Structure 1
Amino acid sequence: MAYYESDELTIEWDPTIETVVMNWHAFAKGDAYRNGLDKGLELVEDKGATNWLADLRDLGTVTQEDQEWTQNEWHPRAFDTTLSNIAVLQPESVVANMSVGDLVEEFGSNDNKSRIFSDRDEAESWLEAQ
């Protein structure tokens, strides 16, 4: 059952691997992107979750403004939660990969673990092992 749904995103709790799962379906920017990340963080707080799986294969390129918002506003709030492991399914686009790679690297530099995957089963297995 979905915790949150929009045209761009579905957020679910996977009790098997105790993970907040973000399934991006389309390009999102501005409020659609930011509201989605905020809703995911709400679910982290509700569940006391340590794991996050972001399927970004269909997200597209994160705009510069949204990258800055993520780094300056969202990451500090995420660091203050129980969240400690992020698995990201990389976007199809090389340009989108570059915009996401920096954000994943920054999260992993704060005593947290983050990895980028191309295979969902591998990402889920990694999270389950954490």
Structure 2
Amino acid sequence: MNSVRIDELSNEACSILYDSDVPCIIMEWHAYGTSTQFRLISENVLQLLIDKGLSKVVADTTNLPIIAAEDQRWVNEDWLPRAIEAGYHACGMVNSRFYFNRVAVENVVNRVKSDKFRVEYFDSQAAAKEWLKSL
């Protein structure tokens, strides 16, 4: 495994890692993130996608209990359109162990209006990375 944590882009709620094998960015949520933390992590991921010329993300939401409704809207209306425009085209989503967050994530994904963006759901980071490698 060649995943390296990028400390300056991470916070208490989420670690951002770079995996050179896939290659992809990994968002590894450890806890609930405030709106400020959630949006900062998202912006950091977008900048890293641009800086490294990447198009794939593993979003490990295993330990993320919920995404606030206003942050769900922000992801759909603001962040995702910018990310897709910048070349983001595939997300391996590791399922949350929290039911309400699984529903929230599915609501966000179901609202994406782009044929340039794919999401698949997995029970582990390893499975998500294997799928991203195959693309």
Length-normalised TM-score, structure 1: 0.93
Q: 5+ unaligned residues in a row in structure 1: which ranges?
A: none
Q: CA deviation at 1:30?
A: 0.9
In structure 1, give the amino acid aligned to 2:47. Answer: E
1:110 matched to 2:103: no
1:11 maps to which residue? Answer: 16
Q: Matched residue of 2:12: which SS?
A: coil
In structure 1, give the amino acid aligned to 2:90. Answer: N
2:104 maps to which residue? Answer: 99
1:85 matched to 2:106: no
2:34 maps to which residue? Answer: 29
Aligned equivalents of 2:24 and 2:114: distance in 1? 20
Q: CA deviation at 1:17?
A: 0.5
The number of residue pairs the alignment matches comes to: 130
Aligned equivalents of 1:62 and 1:94: distance in 2? 12
Structure 1 residues 116 and 107, CA, compared in 2 at 3 Å: closer, same or farther?
A: farther
Q: Matched residue of 1:74: which SS?
A: helix
Q: CA deviation at 1:108?
A: 7.4
Contact 1:29-1:66 within 8 A present in 2 as well: no
Which of 2, 8, 15 is the equivalent residue of 2:5? 2
Aligned equivalents of 1:115 and 1:106: distance in 2? 15
Following TM superposition, the consecutive aligned residue runs of length 4 or more in structure 1 with deviations greater than 6 angstroms are: none
Aligned equivalents of 1:81 and 1:42: distance in 2? 9
Q: CA deviation at 1:28?
A: 0.8
Q: Matched residue of 2:111: which SS?
A: helix
Aligned CA-pair RMSD: 1.4
% of aligned pairs identical?
23
Q: Matched residue of 2:67: which SS?
A: coil
Aligned equivalents of 1:27 and 1:109: distance in 2? 28
Aligned equivalents of 2:26 and 2:113: distance in 1? 18
2:131 maps to which residue? Answer: 126
Q: Matched residue of 1:13: which SS?
A: strand
